[in-house]
Every structure is written in C-alpha cells, then in structure tokens.
Structure 1
Amino acid sequence: MDTSSDSDLGRPRTGAALLRESVTMTIRQAMFDELAEAGYARMSMEAVTRRAGVGKAALYRRWPSKEAMVVGLVSEAAAEHIPTTTDTGSLSGDVERFVKETMGSLRHPLASRIIPDLLAESARNEALHEALHLTVLAPRRAAVSMLLRRAADRGELPPDIDESLAIDLFGAPLYFRMLAVGGQTDDAYVSRLTNAIVAAISASH
C-alpha cells in the first residue's frame, strides 16, 4: 500500500534512500567492469561484491541471480541510449541520426567488450537470449519501425517493404564494422553508410 501523501511528492530523497541509490550505482559500475574483464560465463556475484566493496546481501536484495542482475543493469543502460525518433523531415536525415547515435553508444569503452560477449553467451543461453531480446533489442527495433512507417507515410518508401529485413539493415553493418572488423567511422563513412542503408531498405520488398 502506498502511504505517501501529497506533501511527500517532489520532496528530495535523503538518508537511507540516497544511500541505497549510491550502493546500487556502485554495484552497477562494478558489474560492468567485471563483465568487461571476465565475461559473462566467468563472472560471479561474489566477484561483483568484492569489486564493489559490498556484502552479498546487497546484491541479492536487488537481484536473485547473476542473470537477473546482468539483464536488469544492461537493460537500464540500453534504455538510456535508444535512438531518438523525432522526425528530421526525411528518411536520409532519420537514418543518419540513427547511425550517429548508435555509433556514439558503441564507442563507449566497455561496449566493445561487453556486447560481443553477451551476444555469444546468449547463443548458448536461451533465457538470456530471450531477456536481452525483449529488453534491449525489441525497443530499438520498435524505434526503427516507427522511422520506417513515417518514411512510408511521406512517400519515401513503398508501403510493401519487408520491414523485418529493413530493420536488420539498420544495425547490422554498423555493429559489424565497430565490434568485429574495426576501421574508420568518420563523417565520410557515416555518409556512405547512410546512403547504403537508404538504398537497401528502399529495395527491401
């Protein structure tokens, strides 16, 4: 039961609430550092507690298992970096912004180590795969779907495009470039990739 009164709304959090938030943020950073260093398979709740300098109870009060902790914290981090869906006025403009925002997220120093590891592990762990798809991939695919529908409404795309394939074309080249083979991702590359994605999705029907 919610026992808060109207006078409590907007009141700044103090004391125990701030302490809990501080501990959670410390654990979050420790988890990402440990995940990047050890990988999902070798990472343990105990290792995270040592790195964070907290007791096991602090973790188990928040998450019942390593899987729940990783999915929960990765999902929170991913939600902070979902590409924006504000209309730029053109398909090309929307695609370019998506590319730049996704590129910015992938440039995080931990991303290049964590994302490939989680993708590999999710291929072996069905529960992890389903959880990451639901909380990380699905919101991004939904954002691209909105972008595609908007372009179709403007007449920039045919109404019968293969939406699933078109969505795949948005992320796959950039993820492969940045997380697998490397290479420059300067403004010239962004321009070429934007043009290639627009051409490919226009033909995906």
Structure 2
Amino acid sequence: MGRRRGEALEAAILEAAWDELNERGYANLTVDSVARRAGTSKPVLYRRWADKRELVEAAVEHRGIIRPVTPADTGSLRGDLIATLTELSEERGPFLTQLSLLLAGYFAEAETSFAELRDTLLAGRRSGRDEIMERAVERGEIDPAKLTPRIASLPFDLLRSETMMTRRPVAPEVIEEIVDTVFLPLVR
C-alpha cells in the first residue's frame, strides 16, 4: 500500500479518531493514540487540527452523526411531528445519548454543550424543525403569535430528554402524548 495523502489520509485519521473516541471516550483519547491507529505521526495531525478538541469535532462531523433533521411531510402538523419524532427516536436517539456520554470530557474542557456543538456543526443549514413549523403556519394549524423558539423546540427537547433517561427509542404512545397533550395545545 502506498503512502496516503490528502483526503485519503484525512479520512483515515478521522476514522481513527472516531474509533478511539468510541473505545476510550474523549477524556482518554490522545492525539498520539489517534496517530498510531491511523498509521501516521502526531505532526501530521497537528498540521490539520490545532488540538484534540478540533480533531474530535472534525471526526464527529466526518461521521455525519449530527446532521439536520429531515422533516416528514404528511400534510398535517401532528402527522409531521409524530413521523419526524419517531424517526429521530428510532434512528438517532439512543446513539446520540451515548455520544454525549463519550464527549463528556470534551464538553467540560471546551466549556460548551451538546447544543452548541450541534449548532457549530449545522451552521448555515436549515432546521427541519423550523420547516415543520413554517408549513404548519402556512396551513393555518399554528397561531404564529404562540410559536416562540422555546415552544417550537419543545417536542424535540422532550423526546431527547426521554431518550436520555431510558437510553431506548421512545414508545409511540409517549411521542403521541408529547405532540397531542403538551405541544399542540400550546400553539393552537
């Protein structure tokens, strides 16, 4: 195998960083261990990333784990929310909870949060949540005067909280309760 350069080398390093993060967590991951695993040297890593924190951010971004929500379009606010929350719960929920545990040392060191990391990695991209809410306003299903940013994020925040507490996908009846009992009465 020839010497890797450019994108191939960078991808190998980011995969190595991801593997180290999964096995050791942020606190025990070192630039040296990533370099060894990637079959390269520390100076090669430091030419691309200033420190361990930047390397881990790049690895998380490279894996595409934190990405915008693809909103369902069922024709109704209730249907869109239930379908989107269900997909999030089944595909990402427990894994994102695990990721937040792996990154606990990162959040402490960077004095940041999962929300801030998400905002950094998604900068400039349109929010699926906002798309759902905008469509519902256009259809007349939501009173825009009642739709504050906190209320718009509420169903997603409650789903995340439930997932973090159980570390399992959220039951369909719980998702329906979040939408029907908590969210919809606030926006109508």
Q: 1:60 to 1:134 in 2, by over 3 A?
A: same
Alignment match of 2:57 (pick from 50, 71, 76): 71
Give how far 1:154 is off.
0.9
Whole-Å separation in 2 of the counterparts to 1:106 and 1:88: 22
What stretches of structure 2 of length at least 5 have no aligned partner?
A: none
Give how far 1:190 is off.
2.7
Q: Which runs of 4 or more aligned residues in structure 1 lie more than 6 Å from their structure 2 counterparts after TM superposition?
A: 137-141
Give how far 1:198 is off.
4.5
Whole-Å separation in 1 of the counterparts to 2:28 and 2:167: 26
Corresponding residue of 1:157: 142
Corresponding residue of 1:39: 25
Structure with higher RCO (Cα < 8 A, 6+ apart):
2
Task: Determine whether 1:50 maps to 2:36.
Answer: yes
Q: Work out the number of aligned pairs and report it.
A: 185
What stretches of structure 1 of length at least 5 have no aligned partner?
A: 1-14
Instruction: Spell out, residue by residue over 1:9-39, the C-alpha distance to the aligned partner (whole angstroms, 9 max, x if none).
Output: xxxxxx99x8532222222222122112222
TM-score, normalised to structure 2's length?
0.76
Task: Give the alignment's Cα RMSD to 1 decimal.
Answer: 3.3
Q: 1:95 to 1:125 in 2, by over 3 A?
A: same
Instruction: Spell out, residue by residue over 1:91-113, the C-alpha distance to the aligned partner (whole angstroms, 9 max, x if none).
Output: 122212322332312355xx443
Instruction: Spell out, residue by residue over 1:44-97, the C-alpha distance to the aligned partner (whole angstroms, 9 max, x if none).
Output: 111111222222233223212111112223234347742214633111222123
Give how far 1:132 is off.
0.8
Q: Letter of the aligned partner of 1:100 in structure 2?
A: T
Q: Give the SS at the match of 1:75.
A: helix
Alignment match of 1:145 (pick from 113, 130, 134): 130
